[in-house]
Amino acid sequence: MKREAQIPSEISPNRYVEKVSLGNDEALDEEILPRQLLVHHHRDYHIVDSYAHYMMGRVVKATGDENWAYEKMKRMRRLGHRTSEVLARAIGQKDPEKISKALFGLKKREYFFRYKRHPHTKEEVEASIGVLKEEAAEQLAAASRDGKPAVRVLLTGGTGFVGQEFLWQAAHRDEIAEVVVVIRPKEIRDRKTEELLEVLTPEQRGSDLLRRLWLEGTDAERKFRFVAGDVEEPDLGISEDELAGLASSLTHVIHCAASVAFDDPYDVSFRANVTGTLNALRFSHALQEAEGSPFVAHISIETSYIHGRRIRTPAREDEIVFPRKFYNNYYELTKAMASIETERFMLDKGLRVVQLCPAIVIGESRAGNNRGDTKVVNAPINLFGRANQARGRGSNRFERSKINALARLACIFPADPSAQINLIPVDRVAEGMIAALIRPRAVGERIHLASEHRITSEQIRDIVNQEVGARVTLAEPTIHRTVTLPLLTGVLRRLKQPKVAYAMEKLGTIFAGYSEWGQPVHQVGRDVRILGLSEDRPNAEHAFRMLCRHNRYVQDYGKVRDPDEISRREKIWWELILELERETGRPVGAMSADDFRAALHERLDLEAFERKS
């Protein structure tokens, strides 16, 4: 609390958000604390409030109508406030809110939050974007050779999950002539002593990266160059000598670097997601303003969850509105702030920008390959898999009983069965990034890289149980997070099981917000209409099956960590998946768990992870 009260002005939410009176629609001159913009500042502090959310989840499951359930929730709240007013009069309490808070966990808000409005009219915005599109088309045409675009890209975040997939696809696209990757030197330290053993240069890290992407020794290898830099530094930390050459050659900047830690504190998320974005925007604007520059556009990779929690109304691609249901975490909040900064640079400075907003990114759609990523959706799958592996172990009956009990606890997933989660495979995201490079009409647009094919928590549970062999059970997320989880983790720590307690806390606090009923529905269409991507968006159920299979067989639930070994395994895995597709004539994700396991054991020595002769 004290730390948030002292948020420095340069990272204060007041730069982006204003608190507005419900009575007269006037902005209130008050400091806004970051925690006030999150869902759980306004919820989950009373058992009745938590139980009401549980009951609404049951209503949604029974009726399939979230709008009806939402209206019921509003009526219940109004009834609670009226009951509190009656009780307050009966006992002589002058402030009915004290009664409503004590009995029902209800409090009235005489204010709401909204993003500060930019001074430009709708007509001015449309005219400005039209000019920027024309400029981008002219610049791209000038950079073409033999009638085809000759794209030279600077990429941040190239060592990340999405960045690596972009590099892989860029290697196989003729219109991309060069990719310059900004990368920091990396310190290698002894895990036990923290002694510095080695410092890998950007060139060394780049060489390792290309080898792991199976590009070493290929003609495409010459496309890539790695330069020292840091997105949290001015000019992206690139040396002056390097900057001069880049200014005369780059056509695009793709800002892909970001923090995807859902539980980072506000200041850490802000530095990674907003400060880094501002530095990249300033860098691109300097390129655009440089005399004779071939610069075409800046492409910013955001998230479709910049729209926060919404019920009933779809999250539209053409606007960003502060969500009345707030944000789940500081990752979403700071990514929204970054999007606002990108829009400001476009409208105030005339920077040609494209905003791409992926949903929850998972492994490649056909094989599930993820270059060793263990974050976001991979984390609970690995937890469930390890818990299942532990069952039945122990030197005696007591040990086995204890391990089995811990495994059951680890397989509790806080999720409403009806919650719909928007997953998008990483290859679709990279396809969108490449399309944005060669389509000037994308300039000025915010484009969701999401899918109309969402997957429910119930489907996720069933697929995990089939593919991983775990016995995952769903727990109502609000009750679990506020009541059950604190009790369980307290017991686990007293039993000297801090790792299991920590894993359960991470699962409950990070993912529960994405698995309640009433998840946002993201508008889609510009990915096809503007970027020219296929209308046949990835099948979420198939892609999720392949994620589970990859985590189980390739990564052994996160226990295989060596990047070179993961690369070796993924190549074998990729070739095997293509072989099965040719033989069956259908996506491998459509195969049942049993059929896939049989085919896998017939062709692959899992212990050595080698093809059988």
User: Where does the pLDDT of residue 107 fall: very low under 50, low under 70, confident under 90, or very high at 90 and above?
Assistant: low
The pLDDT, as a whole number, for residue 239 is: 93
User: Where does the pLDDT of residue 71 fall: very low under 50, low under 70, confident under 90, or very high at 90 and above?
Assistant: confident
R_g over Cα of the chain: 26
Q: What's at 516, amino acid-wise? A: E
Please state the domain extents for the chain: 43-107, 120-358, 378-422+454-611
Q: Which residue has the tokens 């390097």?
A: 242
The pLDDT, as a whole number, for residue 219 is: 93
CATH number of the structural domain 120-358: 3.40.50.720
User: Where does the pLDDT of residue 48 fall: very low under 50, low under 70, confident under 90, or very high at 90 and above?
Assistant: low
pLDDT top residue among 528 and 62: 528
Q: Going by C-beta distance under 8 Å and a sequence separation of 6 or more, which residues neighbour residue 274?
A: 11, 334, 337, 338, 341
- The answer to whether 403 touches 391, Cβ cutoff 8 Å, is yes
Average pLDDT score over residue span 228-239: 93
Strand partners, 353: 298
**DSSP codes joined into one string, 15-44:** GTEEEEETTT-PEE--PPPGGGGBGGGSSS
Name the H helices within 271-356: 276-289, 330-349
Average pLDDT score over residue span 268-278: 94
Average pLDDT score over residue span 388-402: 85
Phi, psi angles (nearest 5°) of residue 263: -110, 15
- The answer to whether 41 touches 35, Cβ cutoff 8 Å, is yes
DSSP 522: B
The pLDDT, as a whole number, for residue 4 is: 45
Lowest mean pLDDT among 84-93, 203-212, 271-280: 84-93
Residue 210 scores a pLDDT above 50: yes
The pLDDT, as a whole number, for residue 6 is: 62
Measured CA to CA, the distance from residue 576 to residue 597 in angstroms comes to 13
pLDDT top residue among 312 and 192: 192
The pLDDT, as a whole number, for residue 104 is: 61
Residue 5 scores a pLDDT above 80: no
Helix axes 397-410, 485-494, angle to 10 degrees: 150
With residue 356 as reference, give the H or E element that holds it.
strand 353-358
User: Where does the pLDDT of residue 581 fall: very low under 50, low under 70, confident under 90, or very high at 90 and above?
Assistant: very high
CA 558 to chain centre: 19
Residue 309 scores a pLDDT above 60: yes
Lowest mean pLDDT among 258-267, 268-277, 595-604: 258-267
The pLDDT, as a whole number, for residue 114 is: 93
Average pLDDT score over residue span 351-361: 97
The pLDDT, as a whole number, for residue 73 is: 72
- The answer to whether 458 touches 417, Cβ cutoff 8 Å, is yes
> Which one, of 260, 214, 266, 502, lies nearest residue 378 by Cα?
260
Residue 53 scores a pLDDT above 90: no
Residue 254 scores a pLDDT above 90: yes
Average pLDDT score over residue span 568-575: 98
- The answer to whether 470 touches 551, Cβ cutoff 8 Å, is no
Q: What percentage of the chain has pLDDT greater than the value 70? A: 93
Measured CA to CA, the distance from residue 184 to residue 229 in angstroms comes to 5
Q: What percentage of the chain has pLDDT greater than the value 90? A: 61
The pLDDT, as a whole number, for residue 288 is: 97
The pLDDT, as a whole number, for residue 376 is: 87
The pLDDT, as a whole number, for residue 106 is: 59
Question: What pLDDT, in 10s, does the model give residues 114-153?
Answer: 999 888 999 999 999 999 999 999 999 999 877 777 899 9
Question: What pLDDT, in 10s, does the model give residues 464-518?
Answer: 999 999 999 998 888 888 788 888 888 888 888 888 888 888 777 777 678 887 7
Average pLDDT score over residue span 307-320: 84
Average pLDDT score over residue span 49-77: 71
Average pLDDT score over residue span 444-472: 94
The pLDDT, as a whole number, for residue 191 is: 79
Measured CA to CA, the distance from residue 209 to residue 213 in angstroms comes to 6
Total residue count of the chain as it appears in this document: 613
Q: Helix (H, G, I), strand (E, B), or coil: what is residue 590?
A: helix
> Which one, of 383, 346, 333, 391, lies nearest residue 126 by Cα?
346
Name the range with the highest mean pLDDT among 3-7, 79-83, 196-200, 277-281. Answer: 277-281
**DSSP codes joined into one string, 97-149:** HHHHHHHH-----SEEEEEPPPS--HHHHHHHHHHHHHHHHHHHHHT-BTTB-
Structure token pair of residue 473: 């059970």
Q: What is the side-by-side strand order in the sheet with 111-115?
A: 27-28, 17-21, 111-115
User: Where does the pLDDT of residue 108 fall: very low under 50, low under 70, confident under 90, or very high at 90 and above?
Assistant: low
Decide the pairing of beta strands 360-362 and 423-425.
Answer: parallel
Lowest mean pLDDT among 3-12, 159-168, 432-441: 3-12
Question: What pLDDT, in 10s, does the model give residues 150-187?
Answer: 899 999 999 999 999 999 999 999 999 999 999 998 88
Measured CA to CA, the distance from residue 366 to residue 84 in angstroms comes to 56
With residue 323 as reference, give the H or E element that holds it.
none
With residue 199 as reference, give the H or E element that holds it.
strand 196-200
The pLDDT, as a whole number, for residue 1 is: 32
Within a 13 Å sphere around the CA of 488, how many CA atoms are in the beta-carbon half? Answer: 23
Average pLDDT score over residue span 65-74: 72
Average pLDDT score over residue span 73-101: 73
The pLDDT, as a whole number, for residue 102 is: 67
Q: Is 148 exposed, middle or buried (0-12, 13-18, 19+ CB in 10 A)?
A: exposed
Average pLDDT score over residue span 426-453: 96
Q: What is the mean pLDDT of the chain?
A: 89
**DSSP codes joined into one string, 64-98:** --HHHHHHHHHHHHHHHHHHHHHHHHHHT-S-HHH
